[in-house]
Structure 1
Amino acid sequence: MTFKPSPWPRKLRSQEWYGGTSRDNIYHRGWLKNQGYPHDLFDGRPVIGILNTWSDLTPCNGHLRELAEKVKAGVWEAGGFPLEVPVFSASENTYRPTAMMYRNLAALAVEETMRAQPIDGAVLLVGCDKTTPSLLMGAASTDIPSIVVTGGPMLNGWFRGERVGSGTALWQMSEAIKAGTMSKEDFLEAEQAMSRSSGTCNTMGTASTMASMAEALGMALSGNAAIPAVDSRRRVMAQLTGRRIVQMVKDDLKPSDILTREAFENAIRTNGAIGGSTNAVVHLLALAGRVGIDLTLDDWDRLGRDVPTIVNLMPSGKYLMEEFFYAGGLPVVLKRLGEAGLLHKEALTVSGEKIWDEVKDVTNWNEDVILPTEKALAQAGGIAVLKGNLAPKGAVLKPSAATPSLMVHRGRAVVFEDIDDYKRKINDPDLDIDETCVMVLKNCGPRGYPGMAEVGNMGLPPKVLKKGITDMVRISDARMSGTAYGTVVLHTSPEAAAGGPLAIVRDGDFIELDVPNRRLHLDVPEGEIERRLAEWKSPVERPASGYGMLYHDHVTGADTGADFDFLRGARGNAVPKDSH
């Protein structure tokens, strides 16, 4: 598309607060001057909000204060006025019951922060899983010029000469403990190697996936996604981002100019090529809903089906984000998609340029990390969307992280009514289960957990692990960490707590999984399914007050992004009336 910048200079949004000599203007301007800002900073230059998700309790984002200083330097250099604003930071590794329950609250808080304050443009300073989508969702709803800069991944972990992928190694080692092939002492020693620098997960987990999605959508500068957190080039990227947002404000380049249907299609295909997290599905569906684009699960399946997974990173492959950066990062992947006719080359980015112009001349420096198509980890690497009488509105599976021999499977259901039921039963040697069974977990969807926690990659029972089995078919309405792996069916919709067919599965029922034909079938007569559903009663009680009640009443299903129903649709950057 061709973008035509708005004429400059023009009256900026911030001038509603700071421009003029009225009592109200002096009220807004005078108080801010107590920080020592000269009068000429309020003369009509762009006010840039640096929306910082730093928190001591969000370890992935613990270094963002330092990065914010580089963003500020860039804003100052470009003639803007930077103001750092702390915003809601939901950490995946500390929030209970799950950070996903608070993604929508964070997005709402960010939206209102942007809408209610004198910000002409925003730098979205993000990192941990939910901080990236929540800030993008808030920015999309206000439609103020915005740009993403991520904190970057950790350096590689190493343990006894082997790469340690954050998250992925944790799942592997915890299973090894149950199988009796790893000692507790070795596990504790390995812990010290898992997180050896600042940054997000060093695998292609949800944080790096969402950083890649931001870049593929055009909402971050080219090359942003993969630079390690502690690499000096990450700080350079932050400073360049600070410079760029000032020009974006002058040009009036907004999220609605960039977040087009073509941009979302580029992101979906990119997710397939990188072996990205299944969490990207719910986040991009929610983001599309914020800008009024009718993106569906069927789009995810259709667009990703023919995309080969060419990024050889854990959990699907061998390497980590550090090697991905050295190989050339996401620009190389986008170039490969473009060469294969799988990229909308005209899509606009925050640079003001077309996405193809940014990547067409890049070089792949390591073809063992970013693979040739003929050596792809999976030739059909996009997210598979399954439907059938067990998932009328769809469920998802990540083929690149699954076991090929289990992609077509029929097995006896072993049912866990909720996560506590699973924890009570899974280590029982008398549990009637073997590797041919299908593990079913209920009531872990958006309403059920609540918040749709990352528990879908249920650990296998020790009695199976001790046979040397490392994967089984698992089905739930939950999510799983982007660092996890296995033949895991997730996001089953409608969820059990909303009366979806998953709610009435019983021990001993047979379930058929057919990924090539996108089918998930409960092999129970239709009349029996209807009878069970008629007798079903929800085990989930509506919270009596507070955010839990709001969440329960308004969260949508995973098939539409698990956003709040009242936040869908762009609402623009209207300036509230001054109350003084």
Structure 2
Amino acid sequence: MAELRSSQWYAGDDRNAYIHRAWMRRGVPDSAFTGRPQIAIANTASDLTPCNAHLTEVAQSVKNGIYEAGGIPLELPVVSLGETQVRPTAMLWRNMAAMATEEMLRANPIDGVVLLGGCDKTIPSLLMAAASVDLPAVVVPGGPMLTGTFRGVPLGCGTDVWRLSEEVRAGTLSQEAFVKSESAMIRSRGHCNTMGTASTMALVAEALGTIVPGLAGTPAPDSRLLEAAHNTGRLAVELVAADRRPSSTLTKGSFHNAIVALAAIGGSTNAVVHLLAIAGRAGIELTLDDFDRIGSHVPLLVDLQPAGRFLMEDFHRAGGLLAVLREVRDLLDPDALTVTGRPLVDYLDDAPIWDPEVIRTRKEPLIAEAGIAVLRGSLAPNGALIKPAAASPHLLQHRGRALVFDSIEDFHHRIDDPDLDVDADSIMVLRGCGPKGYPGMPEVANMPLPRKLLEQGVRDMVRICDGRMSGTAYGTVVLHVAPEAAAGGPLALVRTGDIISLDVANRRLDLEVPADELAGRRVDDATAAGFADPKRGWERLYVDHVLQADTGADLDFLTGSSGSAVSRESH
């Protein structure tokens, strides 16, 4: 083993080494500082991130594994982001969490790190940090919750919130029944049990090679999660000994595999912006076009909400990610490595499907071609996304009149107005919700439908937004429109009544306004008033430096890797 990075703090008899050892000693033996890898456990547990609250227990299993393998475990609380709790949106702080974690890993006497995440933004931020600091790193995902039921029917958290709330607005479900379902929605510890962003990012992180193959998707209350956490702690010590770093795992081939996995599981569109950001930190050239080229023709094999019927507990029982990847093995990069040092494809030989209703075979997919589609055109010069698996087939080619909302507040104020000039063929447009405009790119793109149309039986319409959509949501939603309205994109110039055409098959999203007329338009006062204009703090820094969705919405000064070297010694 090469000299440990931590020895730069602890080796020697000078005053600095004395200080570092003395303050960390607190009862530990001399051997803790001589030749034993110092392994941080970057833990996003927090009572205010309910989906991650159990990670303290998981951390203890990781610690046991590290110590058993000869390392010294050091728990490091890091910024935690609870998707359901923080306002205005957790995405506003993903980059801050990544930056803070990177800086703490670099600043401390650490040789390797185990990354504990669960809720939507925590795994992406941890991987962004790990890619930037490039210390040996491995992820332990917190896992999905168990399936809750209400009146005998399984509940998909998130997805059924959207569905049931719309039924209340349509008058087909009482408010009393809706509220009563609340206590049944979250049955256990763990993150959302649908194929939302949390489940998606755990599975995609495994496809990237950053999680021990077979672990992602293990339910949070399952004892096997603790066993795997223990073994991952042991692996972390091995990673240091082998000098196996993210830069050796995160390759173009591993991102290729992640995109294939994303399509085959019917994963969240949020994974696109996160993968782009992780690639940007790792120095991997990845573009929106890669997602369309690699993933758009991959079959959807997982029958899971919101695109299908089942939930994550069923998915794990049916064989999990490795069973899915075995079906599309020919589409994977065979050379892409995992944290174990072995290629991902090596783990697919013994990965049967145990329930072909939940995980379909290649010959009987849920949808033959269901990967995320990238749209371009006069309304999205730099691209926009749509998830065909979550959309209504009859709306994938559509032409209609725009109904424009200048902000989410404007939307909420007007959407249920009985005099709103809207019909089922209208295309709802919501702007001012991109990275700069909100700020933070919130999950508001899947706009609730107008009450009067719900009462008529309408359950889907084409919706367009420069914001994001929850991975648990569904509908014919065009999102991540780039450039966003606040960054000078044409979305800022759309007027109610303009004709918009959507053609997913041909990857087009166009505003049918003559170019000379559009060139003469200016952003009106109401639109500009909806854009964020923070005066201080993180929001000001964010708005000044955030990049657009098509490149991952990272901050411009955070792309790339700075490595693990500390620029100056202390004392």
> Equivalents in 2 of 1:30, 1:561: separation in Å?
43
**What's the counterpart of residue 30 of structure 1?**
22
Cα contact 1:116–1:576 (8 A) shared by 2: no
Matches within 5 A, 1:467-478: 467-478=456-467
CA distance in 1, matches of 2:567, 2:306: 46
- Residues 361-440 of structure 1 aligned to structure 2 (within 5 Å): 361-440=350-429
* 1:131 corresponds to 2:131: no
1:525 to 493, 505, 514: 514
Query: 1:105-143: CA deviations, max 9, x gaps?
Result: 000000001000011000000000000000000010000
Please give the alpha-carbon distance, in whole angstroms, between the structure 2 residues aligned to 1:490 and 1:275: 16
Partner of 1:501 in structure 2? Answer: 490
CA contact (8 A) 1:279 1:480 kept: yes
What is the aligned residue count?
A: 569
Alpha-carbon offset, residue 542 of structure 1: 3.5
For 1:157-306, what aligned pairs fall within 5 Å after superposition? 157-306=148-297
Contact in 1 for aligned 2:493/2:518 (Cα 8 Å): yes
Aligned to 2:336: 347
Deviation at 1:363, TM superposition (A): 1.0
How far is the alpha carbon of 1:257 from its aligned partner? Answer: 0.2
**Aligned residue for 2:91?**
100
**1:534 to partner: Cα distance:** 7.6
1:115-130 counterparts in 2 under 5 A? Answer: 115-130=106-121
Give 1:576 shift. 3.7
Structure-2 residue corresponding to 1:13: 5
Counterparts of 2:431 and 2:198, CA distance in 1: 26
Secondary structure at the residue paired with 2:9? helix
The unaligned stretches of length 5 or more in structure 1 are: 1-7
Query: For residues 230 and 190 of structure 1, do their structure 2 counterparts lie closer, same or farther at Cα, with a shift above 3 Å needed?
Result: same
Is the alpha carbon distance of 1:521 and 1:277 closer, same or farther for their aligned partners in structure 2, counting shifts above 3 Å?
Answer: same
1:575 CA drift (Å)? 2.8
Q: Secondary structure at the match of 1:216?
A: helix
Tell me how far apart the structure 1 counterparts of residues 394 and 362 of structure 2 sit (CA, whole Å): 22
Matches within 5 A, 1:4-83: 8=1, 10-34=2-26, 36-83=27-74
- Secondary structure of the residue that 2:453 maps to in structure 1? helix
Supply the AA of the counterpart residue of 2:455. K
Counterpart contact for 1:377–1:400, Cα < 8 Å: no
Question: Partner of 1:515 in structure 2?
Answer: 504
Match for 1:395: what amino acid? A
Cα displacement (A) at 1:535: 7.3
- Mapped partners of 2:186, 2:157: distance in 1: 7
2:545 to 541, 554, 567: 554
State the alpha-carbon separation in 2 of the partners of residues 189 and 224 from structure 1. 34
On the 8 A contact 1:499/1:538 being kept in 2, the answer is no
Provide TM-score, normalisation by structure 1: 0.97
Distance 1:568 1:575 in 2: 18
Which amino acid in structure 2 is aligned with residue 30 of structure 1? A
State yes or no: 1:482 paired with 2:471: yes
Shift of 1:533: 4.4
Query: 5+ residue gaps in structure 2?
Result: none
Q: For residues 474-526 of structure 1, give each alpha carbon's deviation from its aligned partner in whole angstroms, at most 9, with x where no partner exists.
A: 00001010000000000000000111000011110010000000000001111
SS of residue matched to 2:181: helix
State the one-letter code of the partner of 1:126: G
